[in-house]
Structures are given as C-alpha cells and as structure tokens.
C-alpha cells in the first residue's frame, strides 16, 4: 500500500467568476505585470501552489482534463495569423508552469497528467511513487465558452493544491492511501476536487486495481 | 543520485516515422535520407512552405476519423497479446498534440464530428478502443519531454512491484494547429533544420511520430539504468543563459554512467541558442562523447521525440551503428557533434535527452542488459 499524509491543502471554487475578475482579485499574488498574460486556471493554480511554498526538490503533479481552455479557444480563433503567445499558453501544462515561471521556481520533477478515467489515481501514483520527500499535487479546470458548449472544455472552474509528505508527518490534515484491489472504478477530477474542498472522506476503487482511502484528521 | 536507481528492461519497442518503422528509419538515417519536405504551414489554407515530415499519403489537415489511427494500430500489433490497461498491465500514453488537429478542423472546417477526437482524453479513449485496452491508463502531456515522463512512471511502477509490465505509448501527428504555432514563433521557417550547426539563422522541422516500449523488470536485452528530470521554470521559450538547466538534468545520468564509454543522442531541434547550450552542456558532462541527433531528417516529433528517438538508439545499439546528425555540416557548436554515422560497439551505452517549453529537461541512460 502507498500512503502519504496530507500536510497542507488549498482549494478555490470561484463559481461563475470571469477570468477578468479573477485577475483583478489575484494579481497582487504575482510579480507586477505578470498576471496580464496568465489564464484563469494559471492564476488559480499559481496562487494555491505558492501557498504551499514550493521547493526545488518537490515533485509537482498537475492534473487537468482540459487545461487552458480559454487560451485554446483564443488561439484557434487567431488563425490564419496564429498568435505565438496564445500558442505557448494553450499548451498543457501551461496552467502550472505560468505561476512557477513568473516566480522562477525551478523544480526537479513535474508530472502533468491529462485526462483519462484513471486520472486521479494516476496523479496520486505519480506523486506517491516519486522519491522526493514531498509531492505537491495540484490541478483544476477553467470554464470556457464555445468549447464548453461542445463538451470539449469544463463547465466549471475550480482548482486545488495539496502537499503530500511522509505518512508519519506530525502536522497532517489527513491521510491518503492507494492500495491494490480486485475492483475497478473511477473518480473524476471534479469529484476529487469536491472531496478536497468539503474535506469529505472516501473509500473505494478509483481505477482498475487501485483503491483510494481518503481520511481527514 | 539518478532519479531511478532500479534498472528496468525494455522487452519490446518500435517506432513509426515517415521513413517507416525503427529498422527502416534507422537504415534511412544511415543513408542520410531526409524525410522533411516543404509543405504549406496551414495545409489546405496555404501559407509559407515549411519543412514538415508527414506519414506517406497523409495530409496536414486532419480527417475524421484521424487517418493515422490505422498506422497506430499496426504499430502496436506486435504487443497486443498482453491485457493492457488492466490492473497489472497499465498503459502510459504521452503526447503533446493528442487530437488537437481535430479541434482545429472543427473550428475551421465546421464539421461537428471532429470534436469527438479533439480533447486529450477523447483522443486517448479512441486509441484505447482501437487497441482493446482497459481503463488503467496514465496520460502525460509535458510538451517535448512527455515521453520521458511515461518511461519514468513506468519504471517506478515496475520498481514498486505495482505492475508486471507497462506499455509506454506515444504519438504526435501534425496539424495546422502546431505548425502554425511554431511558425508564429518564427522558428519554423523556410530553412531546413541543421541541429548543432553554427550558422546565421536557426530553424526547426516538425514530423509525425509514434512509438512504444514495453517496460519490464527482467525481460529484454536493453536496460534503462538512470533517468533524470529538471524544470528550470525560467522562461516559457528560453533557457537560463549559463546552461544550468541542461547541466542539472545531465548530472545524475553522468554520475550513473561514470567510468563508462557513452555516446549521446541529443534533443537538437535546429534552434541556435538552445542547440549551443545543449551541445556545450553535453560536452562538459561527457567530454569527447560523440553527439548526434536526427531531427534534421525526421523533424521534431514533439511530445513523442523522446521515445521515437529512443527506439532509434536501441536499433543503433542492436546493429552496432548510429546515424550521424543528418542535415548538419561543419562548423558545429562543439567538435563532438557527429555529422556522419559511427560504430557503437566501442561504447557501453547511450545517453538520450529531450528538452521542452518552460525549460523542461529529461535524460536517460540506456545500455545492453
């Protein structure tokens, strides 16, 4: 069984807030002028991740099913004069890189996990199998416009960031464990976020052969 | 310390490029063949002619369903006998493009059917259905180091006893989306790429590519004995000027290969500043080791380049001969750049590297088991 303590957790559930309002609310969290080119998801993840105090030896795992959907929409609309800035910003894992780059936070390992039915399980596996003393697991989605209408982007904006340390950590908020099992199941990134945001426990299969236990202190 | 201390074996592997499978591509590279062809950057919509390498008969504009599905299925057929995607046989899929060509086609051609392959999860799900995989699939997307992440997680799953074997599969097929993006950045231009060449203007080419490797604890004739990652987080499209990011990724692998005779398969896209930093960092970490790269022929296969080019490294080790840096002539950034094929039987193994947006770096050491 793989087990880690949750030593810090931050979540954001901004509801229907538009990117401009998120920028106005969070711009002071970033170096002067830096938020101008950041996406809504980039600002949310960047703010939550910074609150964990990222260190060079952390492993960072970033999970997003759709990534930078507004930038993707704008980039697609920029053709035939493709925008170089939107091209960079629309590419996975820009959402986590934006905040780390504007603060020059070098990191040994970054595992950006894109969508699959086993996304949450695979993100936690990447974090728990890493040899680093601490893993930061972050992610989220941003609501888009026409991509959302075609189910190619999230209908909801949300973000999370949690720190996973040694299972014996004294300062634990909770406990997360993955154990092999004979069952199969799935847990969406949105459902995972809701568990974190409301600090609800969970026990059950979340991927073929993997059972998640999430407990709060 | 190397990031992966427990060696893993590669029990099967192959790649697909416009020049064919690993054996055919390797042979063509030894002959100095160039797959890149001047192609309108926006496909049917025209635009400047830029060097692209597309699978034979494939157009840059996406079809519905994607025309490359059949090629992917054929590539993976030799390893279709395992229950991939089940609890003990996970799959790691990596890409930087996934089905984004379908999303571009949806936006610009207007046919709603394209959306069904447009997102990463939808694109991977379609391949999983095509190949009969279960749902135990990890999907990584970290631009041009993506494939290395798949190999890294696969190695850790094996080392932890959490899997019998892991299939790492990577695919990137070009579209106006990605060609237009690199053209907008001005590094995809009318010039053919010449990796590590000291010339006036830098340029890259882009190529279709897919590859797989089966990672195992004890099966196979080749072993990955060290892997390393480093993320500079300095700038989206530039590296630290002193090459520290390259050095940080190379150091653990150099330590693992200390005292061994190695040759180097670099990232080498054809850009000037990154190419110079990379070549110099490689020479500092591995003095006198020959450095080669194949994007001057195949183009940059983006998130898949790490595994596509690893398959060609393995073919080089298997046959005893490595292709030189196709498309490049002297002067080069360092005198270690190999512009002609060379024998590999005097070496203990090869160091393979990839680099990506955001100053992401990956390196591994592979040798005969």
A-B interface: how many C-beta pairs under 8 angstroms? Answer: 180
Please report how the helices B146-159 and B305-319 are oriented relative to each other, as an axis angle in degrees rounded to 10. 70
Choose among B115, B135, B248: nearest Cβ to A207. Answer: B135
Domain check: are B258 and B285 in the same one?
Answer: yes
Cis peptide before A80 (omega within 30 of 0): yes
Q: Is residue B62 part of a domain?
A: yes
- Using the predicted structure, report yes or no on whether residue A48 has a pLDDT greater than 90: yes
Domain check: are B275 and B154 in the same one?
Answer: no
Flag if A91 and B119 touch (Cβ within 8 Å): no
Choose among B106, B157, B233: nearest Cβ to A104. Answer: B233
Choose among B88, B135, B153: nearest Cβ to A126. Answer: B153
In three-state secondary structure terms, B90 is coil
**pLDDT (0 to 100) of residue B220:** 96
Flag if A101 and B149 touch (Cβ within 8 Å): no
**pLDDT (0 to 100) of residue B2:** 45
| Distance of alpha carbon A175 from the chain centroid | 18
Domain check: are B203 and B316 in the same one?
Answer: no
Domain check: are B157 and B69 in the same one?
Answer: yes
Among B216, B233, B268, the domain boundary falls at B216
Per the prediction, chain A carries an average pLDDT of 96
**Contact A130/B at CB under 8 A:** yes
**pLDDT (0 to 100) of residue B17:** 98
Among B194, B216, B238, the domain boundary falls at B216
**Contact A115/B at CB under 8 A:** yes
Total domains, chain B: 2
**pLDDT (0 to 100) of residue B1:** 44
Choose among A65, A103, A108: nearest Cβ to B121. Answer: A65
**pLDDT (0 to 100) of residue B3:** 58
Strand partners, B345: none
CATH number (domain holding residue B327): 3.40.47.10
DSSP conformation letters of B33-78? ----EEEETTGGG---EEEEE--TT--SS--SS-TTHHHHHHHHGG
User: Residues B7, B224: contact at Cβ < 8 Å?
Assistant: yes
**Contact A107/B at CB under 8 A:** yes
User: Residues A60, A54: contact at Cβ < 8 Å?
Assistant: yes
Least confident of A127-131, A170-174, B301-305: A170-174
Domain check: are B210 and B268 in the same one?
Answer: no
ipTM beyond cut 0.90: yes
Q: Is residue B211 part of a domain?
A: yes
Q: What are the two backbone dihedrals, phi and then psi, of residue B324, each rounded to the nearest 5 degrees? A: -80, -175
Q: Show which of residues 58-87 on chain A sit within 8 Å of chain B, judged by CB atoms.
A: 60, 65-67, 72, 75-77, 79-84, 87
User: Residues B166, B157: contact at Cβ < 8 Å?
Assistant: yes
Domain spans, chain A: 2-173
| Strand-strand pairing, B37-40 and B49-53 | antiparallel
Domain check: are B28 and B141 in the same one?
Answer: yes
Which residue blocks in B286-360 are alpha helix, DSSP H? 295-298, 305-319
| Distance of alpha carbon B33 from the chain centroid | 19
Domain check: are B112 and B177 in the same one?
Answer: yes
Q: Show which of residues 31-60 on chain A sit within 8 Å of chain B, judged by CB atoms.
A: 60
**Contact A129/B at CB under 8 A:** yes
Flag if A118 and B93 touch (Cβ within 8 Å): no
Flag if A125 and B93 touch (Cβ within 8 Å): no
User: Residues B115, A111: contact at Cβ < 8 Å?
Assistant: no
Q: Is residue B122 part of a domain?
A: yes
Domain check: are B180 and B62 in the same one?
Answer: yes
What lies within 8 Å, CB to CB, of B9 at 6+ separation is B215, B216, B217, B218, B219, B220, B221, B222, B223, B369
Residues of chain B with pLDDT under 50: 1-2
CATH of domain A2-173: 3.40.47.10
Q: Is residue B91 part of a domain?
A: yes
- Using the predicted structure, report yes or no on whether residue A166 has a pLDDT greater than 60: yes
Flag if B231 and A108 touch (Cβ within 8 Å): yes
pTM beyond 0.90: yes
Q: What is the largest CA-CA distance in chain B?
A: 59
Domain check: are B130 and B79 in the same one?
Answer: yes
**pLDDT (0 to 100) of residue A180:** 96
Q: Is residue B293 part of a domain?
A: yes
| Strand-strand pairing, B291-292 and B321-322 | unpaired
| CB < 8 Å to B129, chain A | none
User: Residues B122, B101: contact at Cβ < 8 Å?
Assistant: no
User: Residues B103, B97: contact at Cβ < 8 Å?
Assistant: no
Flag if A209 and B357 touch (Cβ within 8 Å): no
What's the mean pLDDT in A103-122?
95
Domain check: are B228 and B337 in the same one?
Answer: yes
Which residue range forms the structural domain that includes residue B137? Answer: 8-216
Provide the percentage of residues in chain A whose pLDDT is more than 70. 100
Domain check: are B193 and B167 in the same one?
Answer: yes
**pLDDT (0 to 100) of residue A115:** 85
Domain check: are B197 and B300 in the same one?
Answer: no
**pLDDT (0 to 100) of residue B5:** 64
Flag if A82 and B236 touch (Cβ within 8 Å): no
Strand partners, B352: B265, B364
* Residue to test with chain A: of B47, B84, B119, B125, most A Cβ within 10 A: B119
């Amino acid at each position: 069984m793989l087990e880690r303590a949750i030593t810090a957790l931050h979540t954001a559930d901004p509801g229907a807030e538009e990117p401009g309002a998120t920028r106005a609310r969070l711009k002071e969290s970033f170096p002067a002028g830096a938020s101008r080119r950041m996406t809504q998801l980039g600002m949310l993840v960047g703010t939550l991740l910074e609150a964990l105090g990222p260190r060079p030896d952390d492993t960072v795992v970033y999970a997003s099913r759709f990534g930078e959907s507004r930038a993707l929409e704008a980039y697609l609309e920029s053709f035939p004069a493709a925008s170089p800035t939107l091209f960079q910003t629309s590419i996975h894992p820009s959402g986590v890189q934006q905040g780390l780059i504007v603060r020059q936070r070098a990191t040994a390992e970054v595992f950006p996990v894109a969508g699959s039915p086993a996304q949450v399980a695979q993100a936690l596996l990447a974090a728990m199998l890493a040899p680093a003393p601490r893993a930061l697991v972050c992610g989220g989605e941003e609501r888009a416009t026409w991509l959302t209408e075609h189910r190619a982007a999230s209908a909801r904006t949300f973000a999370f960031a949690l720190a996973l340390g040694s299972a014996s950590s004294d300062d634990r908020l909770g406990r997360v464990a993955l154990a092999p099992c004979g069952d199969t199941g799935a847990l969406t990134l949105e459902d995972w976020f809701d568990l974190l945001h409301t600090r609800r426990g969970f026990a059950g299969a979340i991927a073929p052969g993997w059972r998640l236990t999430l407990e709060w202190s | 310390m190397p990031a992966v201390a427990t060696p893993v074996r590669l029990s099967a592997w192959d790649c697909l490029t416009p020049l064919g499978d690993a054996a055919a591509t390797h042979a063509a590279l030894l002959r100095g063949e160039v797959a890149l062809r001047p192609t309108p950057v926006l496909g049917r919509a025209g635009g400047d002619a830029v060097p692209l390498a597309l699978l034979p008969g494939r157009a840059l504009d996406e079809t519905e369903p994607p025309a490359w599905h059949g090629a992917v299925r054929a590539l993976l057929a030799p390893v279709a006998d395992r229950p991939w995607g089940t609890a003990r046989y996970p799959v790691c899929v990596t890409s930087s493009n996934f089905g984004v060509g379908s999303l571009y086609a949806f936006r610009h051609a207007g046919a709603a059917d394209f959306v069904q392959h447009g997102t990463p999860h939808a694109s991977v799900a379609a391949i999983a259905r095509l190949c009969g995989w279960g749902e135990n699939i990890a999907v990584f997307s970290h631009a041009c180091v993506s494939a290395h992440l798949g190999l890294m997680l696969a190695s850790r799953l094996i080392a932890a006893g959490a899997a019998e074997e892991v299939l790492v599969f990577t695919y990137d097929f070009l579209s106006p989306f990605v060609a237009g993006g690199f053209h907008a950045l001005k590094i995809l231009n009318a010039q053919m790429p010449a990796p590590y060449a000291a010339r006036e203007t830098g340029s890259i080419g882009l190529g279709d590519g897919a590859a797989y490797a089966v990672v195992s604890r004890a099966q196979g004739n080749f072993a990955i004995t060290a892997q390393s990652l480093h993320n500079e987080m300095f700038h989206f499209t530039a590296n630290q000027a002193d090459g520290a990011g390259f050095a940080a990724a190379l150091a653990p692998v150099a330590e693992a290969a200390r005292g061994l005779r190695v040759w180097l398969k670099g990232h080498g896209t054809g850009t000037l500043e990154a190419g110079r930093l990379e070549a110099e960092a490689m020479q500092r970490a591995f003095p006198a080791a020959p450095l080669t790269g194949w994007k001057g022929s195949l183009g940059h296969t983006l998130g898949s380049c790490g595994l596509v080019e690893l398959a060609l490294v393995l073919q080089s080790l298997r046959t005893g001969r490595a292709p030189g840096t196709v498309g490049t002539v002297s002067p080069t950034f360092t005198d270690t750049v190999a512009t002609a094929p060379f024998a590999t039987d005097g070496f203990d193994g090869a160091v393979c590297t990839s680099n990506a947006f955001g100053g992401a770096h990956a390196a591994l050491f592979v040798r005969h088991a």
